[in-house]
Amino acid sequence: MRKALIWGAIFLPTCRPAADADRSAHANGTIEPNAFATHFQVQRTVDGMQLAVFGPGGRADTLGTYALQDASIGGPAHAGRTLNVPCRQIALMTTTAGYFLEVLGVADRVIASVYPEELRTNGLRERYRSGVLVELPGAPDAAREQLIALHPDVVFDAPYGHSRPLNDQPYTTVPVCEYLEHAPLGRAEWLRFFGAITGTEARADSILKTVQDRYRAMASSRTGSTGRPTVFFGSYWQGRWSVPAGDSYMARLITDAGGEYLHAGEGHGENLGLSIEQVLADAALADQWGMIVDVKDLERSAQLPGLDQRLVSAMALRHGHIFVANTAEADLFGKALLEPDVLLADLIALFDPRHHPDHIGTYFRAIRQ
């Protein structure tokens, strides 16, 4: 389970139009271009499909290349290199993958997962409670023997923080790194990645088109809007303040929603650490004050971590223009990945409440002073 301020630490270029629907020619086959995602690629060849996954360095940093062969034709699936698709026995070493699988309607194929008690998807949670979904240890080495016994068709895992899969394991581990994507719509586009492996490509494309159309229409409606609020957004943890860099996922959401992010011109990828003096300066300038928190039963600003009297007296807080993304109540690191249009709608309603008086926030919501 990855729970960090991943919204802030990811590069994000300006929202751009979808890639041409026509497939691009390639020496070894036909590449099916993504509209926004840059860290995986699907390629059609004379022998079937090929899937490549890229690390932080993009195509120069290939984490794995996998042949996807039609399971109905048969043939051995060589562990570590090929998959018989559609895969029907799936194990999760990263819970993020579960949300994509549930949306695609194939949660019933998941036979094992790390941290199953933390899964918020109805289908996977019910499978765990009924005993058909097995709990795996969080460390890949500890889970190895259990995975060998289960013999899944594929194991989805986050590629960082532990050693690469061993070559002699009798199952194929495929890295999932949607958190590297630059754009909110890029993360959602990993539905195509899971669709290719599970044989649900048509469903993935249909869902994506709806999400992309909604997001682009809302972002377009805010382009050139007047009275754009100046926005602070950050987090406070163990005595330290941090905010997303100016080229981050969260900065793009704020901009697309019609806000002016205070640190839009600063940093590159990594979160920025701020002194209390800088936070106070930001507070004096901010029209809207936003935080990502994990606070149960959050009702008032006095419950927010890091707020002292100096900050409470600042402009945004003094006027009650405060909003939160609260992981204790909203599935910010799961379902939100697939609903960038909902994230954007929440922010637009916060920044322009006169035109959206009846909006109820799903991921971002205002709180009382």
Query: Amino acid letter at 319?
Result: H
Number of helices followed by number of strands (H, E) in the chain: 11, 18
Do the domains 224-366 and 24-212 match in fold? yes
Specify the pTM. Answer: 0.87
Tell me which residue has tokens 């019910």. 126
Res 227: pLDDT: 82
190-198 and 96-103 helices cross at what angle (nearest 10)? 70
Res 28: pLDDT: 61
Question: Are β-strands 58-70 and 82-85 bridged in parallel, bridged antiparallel, or unpaired?
Answer: parallel
* Predicted confidence pLDDT, tens digits, the chain (369 residues): 444 444 554 333 334 333 433 445 555 678 889 999 999 999 988 778 999 999 988 888 999 999 999 888 766 666 668 899 999 999 999 999 999 999 999 999 999 999 999 888 999 999 999 999 999 998 888 999 999 999 999 999 998 765 555 556 788 999 999 988 878 999 999 999 999 999 999 999 999 999 999 999 999 999 877 789 999 999 999 999 999 999 888 999 999 999 999 999 898 777 899 999 999 999 989 999 999 999 999 999 889 999 888 887 777 777 779 999 999 999 998 899 999 999 999 999 999 998 899 999 999 999 987
Res 311: pLDDT: 86
Query: Amino acid letter at 55?
Result: G
Res 27: pLDDT: 53
What is the topology classification, in CATH, of domain 224-366? Rossmann fold (3.40.50)
Q: Write down the domain spans for the chain.
A: 24-212, 224-366
The Cα-based distances of 277 to 15, 33, 236, 290, 311 in angstroms read 33, 46, 14, 18, 10
The number of beta carbons lying within 10 Å of the beta carbon of residue 8 is: 24
Rounded-to-10 torsion of CA 262, 264, 265, 269: 120
Res 313: pLDDT: 79
In contact, 119 and 98? CB cutoff 8 Å = yes
276: exposed, middle or buried (Cβ count in 10 Å: 0-12, 13-18, 19+): middle
Res 19: pLDDT: 40
In contact, 345 and 352? CB cutoff 8 Å = no
Q: Give 24-212's CATH code, choosing from 3.40.50.1980, 3.50.50.60, 3.40.50.2300, 3.40.605.10.
A: 3.40.50.1980
Question: Are β-strands 134-136 and 110-114 bridged in parallel, bridged antiparallel, or unpaired?
Answer: parallel
